[in-house]
């Protein structure tokens, strides 16, 4: 330690001539001066270490923001699921920079987005200018982030339940119903005639719902009713036991066929013996009175939907 202090004293003589020479001698002879110099030397790496901690904390914050912006952009790209590179990049950039504006700390670079076999991959870097690490010659820090999203195309299923009751026959309501249904078809189908990921169905209802005569296997015996020259039109009663609210089907809980009872005043069809029965939907006379058009099962055929729209003409 003495030799080191001697060297310090000699250096002090050269650096601090004249009046300061005595100060250097006193520091050499004083323990307190020696410790002060040692502390001054030691505090430099401590300050640098504290500065490094601040710069790295700022870099970590930028990394989090970068990862969030990439995740958001990746999800947006996954929603369009296209192989068109220009469309991918346009959608990616729109959402990335909306979540990582230019005012944010850190300059983004090397941004990348790819879509392959249902997998969206996004990545990028951000350069963070340092504040304290410049003392050690480190002017910036680069952070990076990446993410992958699996695109699961489940599609869309829409069922329109359409009111065909008597009140819809006045005031242009039925026409408005048809027009609105057509507008929805136009909106969802766009320019496509049979999209792979879209299906629509129609369920007209009046006094009942018509599942179609082809579904007689799901209905209790329709021949139990003597309807004279009129056949079952396809309408059914609601199922019991809570099954009217579920998709569950069991052979022990079939639908009962619906028919409109003969009535002297309201539906005097007399089982077809004396009066002509109107079987065209919606029938106004006979056992199938107010039985609407049958349901249109889920389909991706635009033509099939436009030919039906769940409304009698």
Provide the whole-model pTM. Answer: 0.50
**Residue-wise pLDDT tens digits, 218-271:** 888 777 655 656 678 888 888 777 777 777 777 777 888 887 777 766 777 665
Question: Which of 192-224 are b and which e, b meaning 16 or more Cβ less than 10 Å from the residue's Cβ?
Answer: eeeeeebbbbbbbbbbbbbbbeeebeebeebee
**Cα-based distances in Å from 133 to 40, 55, 103, 125:** 19, 7, 22, 20
19 or 270, greater pLDDT: 270
| Average pLDDT value for residue range 26-33 | 55
Residue 8 has pLDDT above 50, yes or no: no
100 or 13, greater pLDDT: 100
Rounded to 5 degrees, what are φ and ψ at 141? -130, 135
307 or 311, greater pLDDT: 307
**Residue-wise pLDDT tens digits, 166-189:** 788 788 888 898 888 888 998 888
Residue 302 has pLDDT above 50, yes or no: yes
Domain residue extents for the chain: 11-150, 156-308
Query: Which pLDDT belongs to residue 199?
Result: 93
CA distance linking residue 84 with residue 120, whole number of Å: 13
pLDDT over 90 for what percent of the chain? Answer: 11
Q: Quickly state the pLDDT bin for 105 (edges 50, 70, 90).
A: confident
| Average pLDDT value for residue range 89-118 | 87
**Checking phi first, is residue 221 left (phi over 0); if not, alpha (psi -120 to 50) or beta?**
beta
CA distance linking residue 311 with residue 206, whole number of Å: 11
């Amino acid at each position: 330690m003495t030799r080191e202090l001697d060297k310090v004293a000699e250096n002090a003589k050269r650096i601090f001539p004249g009046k300061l020479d005595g100060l250097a001698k006193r520091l050499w002879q004083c323990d307190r001066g020696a410790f002060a110099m040692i502390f001054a030397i030691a505090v430099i790496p401590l300050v640098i270490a504290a500065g490094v901690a601040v710069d790295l904390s700022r870099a970590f914050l930028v990394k989090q923001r970068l990862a969030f912006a990439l995740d958001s952009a990746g999800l947006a790209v996954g929603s369009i699921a296209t192989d068109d590179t220009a469309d991918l990049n346009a959608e990616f950039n729109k959402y990335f920079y909306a979540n990582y504006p230019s005012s944010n700390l850190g300059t983004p670079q090397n941004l990348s987005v790819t879509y392959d076999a249902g997998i969206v991959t996004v990545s990028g870097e951000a350069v963070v200018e340092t504040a304290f690490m410049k003392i050690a010659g480190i002017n910036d820090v680069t952070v990076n982030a990446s993410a992958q999203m699996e695109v699961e195309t489940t599609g869309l299923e829409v069922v329109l339940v359409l009111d065909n009751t008597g009140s819809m026959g006045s005031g242009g309501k039925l026409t408005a119903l048809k027009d609105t249904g057509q507008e929805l078809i136009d909106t969802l189908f766009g320019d496509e005639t049979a999209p792979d990921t879209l299906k629509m169905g129609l369920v007209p209802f009046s006094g009942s719902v018509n599942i179609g005569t082809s579904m007689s296997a799901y209905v209790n015996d329709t021949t139990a009713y003597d309807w004279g020259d009129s056949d079952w039109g396809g309408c059914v009663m609601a199922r019991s036991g809570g099954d009217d609210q579920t998709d569950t089907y069991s052979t022990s809980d079939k639908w009962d066929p619906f028919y409109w009872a003969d009535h002297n005043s309201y539906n005097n069809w007399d089982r077809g013996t004396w009066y002509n029965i109107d079987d065209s939907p919606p029938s106004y006379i006979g056992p199938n009175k107010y039985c609407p058009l049958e349901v249109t099962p889920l389909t991706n055929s635009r033509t099939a939907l436009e030919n039906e729209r769940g409304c009698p003409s």
